[in-house]
Structure 1
Amino acid sequence: MTLDEIKALIDAMAASDLAEMEVAKDGWTLRLARQIHRARSADDPASRPASGAPAFPVTAACAADVPSPVPGAPAADEVRAPLAGLAYLSPAPEAPPYVALGQAVEAGALLCTVEAMKTFHEVRAPRAGSIAAVLIASGDEVEGGQPLLRLT
C-alpha cells in the first residue's frame, strides 16, 4: 500500500460519515477510526481551547536542514521514521531531549518517538555511534521513511 493510497483513503473517510474503515492490500491492513468526542464540563481542562502552540516545544536549534546524499536513496547512517505521524525529540514539553547533537549512543538507544493515531512508536538507534545531525524539530509532521537523525 502506497502513501498516496493511504492519503486517498483518509480523504475518502473525511468526506464521508463513516466511523471506521479497514482496508487490506498487499499484505497490509490499514484501519482508520474517527475519534469520538465526549461531552465535557466547563471545569474540564481538556475542554478549554488550545492556544495554537504545539504540544511539544519546537526547538529549531536542534534541527538541521541536511538533505540525503542521494535524494530518495536511504543512507546507511540515517535513522528514518517507521511511519507517518508527529515526531517528538523528548518525552514531554519540559523534559530534556532523548539525545543531543554530538552525543554518543549505543545500539537500541531511544532517539525519538513518532505519534500516529494516539500511539507512540519508539525510534531506536540501529547501531552504536554519535548523533551527527538532527533533521527534524520536535512536533514536526513526518512521512514514513523520512530521515529523522543522522549517525556517524
Structure 2
Amino acid sequence: MSRMLVDKDAIRALADILTETGLTEIEIAEADSRIRVVRGGVVQAVAPVAAAPAAVAAAPVPAAAPSDPAKHPGAVPSPMVGVAYLTPDPSAPQFVQEGAHVSAGQTIMLIEAMKTFNQIKAPRSGTLTKFVVASGDPVEFGEPLAIIE
C-alpha cells in the first residue's frame, strides 16, 4: 500500500493565491501529481442508490426541465454563501429591474456574507430576464442568482 505525500507548502501557497486574487478555485498538475484548492465550496456526499424493482426501472426518467435556472447558459452563479439583496437598502429601488439591459460590470445585487455587503456584478452585457432569488433569500455557492440573456 503506497502512501500519498502531501505538499503542505504548495497547498498554503495556492490558498494564498486564492485569497489575493479573489478566485474560488485553483489547480496545478505536474507529472503524476495534482493539487486542487477550492474556497467557499459546498461539499456534497453522494450515496449509492439501491437497485429499483424492474417495474420501476422500466419507467421513463423525465429529462431535466429546460426551465432549470442552473442549467441556463445565461445564469449568474453566486460566488459565495450569504443572503441576497436586490436593493442597496430596504427603502431604495432595485439595482436593476427584470427586463432591463445591463452592462458587464454593472451591480445587479448584493450578497451579505459575514456582515459584509459584496456587490454582484453582471458578468456580461445583455437583458436581465429573471431574478432567480428574492431579496432576503439565503444563497449557496454556485446557486443561480439571475438570468442574463
Interval of TM-score (by shorter of Structure 1 and Structure 2): 0.5 to 0.7
The aligned counterpart of 1:101 is 98
Q: Tell me, in whole angstroms, the C-alpha distance in 2 between the residues paired with 1:29 and 1:105.
A: 28
The aligned counterpart of 1:9 is none
Q: Tell me, in whole angstroms, the C-alpha distance in 2 between the residues paired with 1:72 and 1:98.
A: 21
Are the aligned partners of 1:98 and 1:111 in contact in 2 as well (CA < 8 Å)?
yes
What value does the CA root-mean-square deviation take over the aligned residues?
Answer: 2.6
- Indicate which of 129, 135, 140 corresponds to 2:137: 140
Whose Rg is larger?
A: 2
Structure 1 stretches lacking a partner, 5+ long:
1-25, 31-66
- Tell me whether 1:85 sits opposite 2:85 in the alignment: no
Percent identity, please: 40
Q: Tell me, in whole angstroms, the C-alpha distance in 2 between the residues paired with 1:147 and 1:91.
A: 20
| Deviation by residue 1:58-87 (Cα, 9 ceiling, x = unmatched) | xxxxxxxxx974869643200111111000
- 4+ aligned runs moved over 4 Å, structure 1: 70-74
Structure 2 stretches lacking a partner, 5+ long:
1-35, 41-63
SS of equivalent residue, structure 1 residue 150: strand
- TM-score, normalised to structure 1, is 0.53
**1:29–1:136 distance in 2 versus 1, CA, 3 Å:** closer
Are the aligned partners of 1:68 and 1:75 in contact in 2 as well (CA < 8 Å)?
no
What is the correspondence of 1:21-100 to structure 2 with a 5 Å cutoff?
27=37, 69=66, 74-100=71-97
Residues paired across the two proteins, number: 92
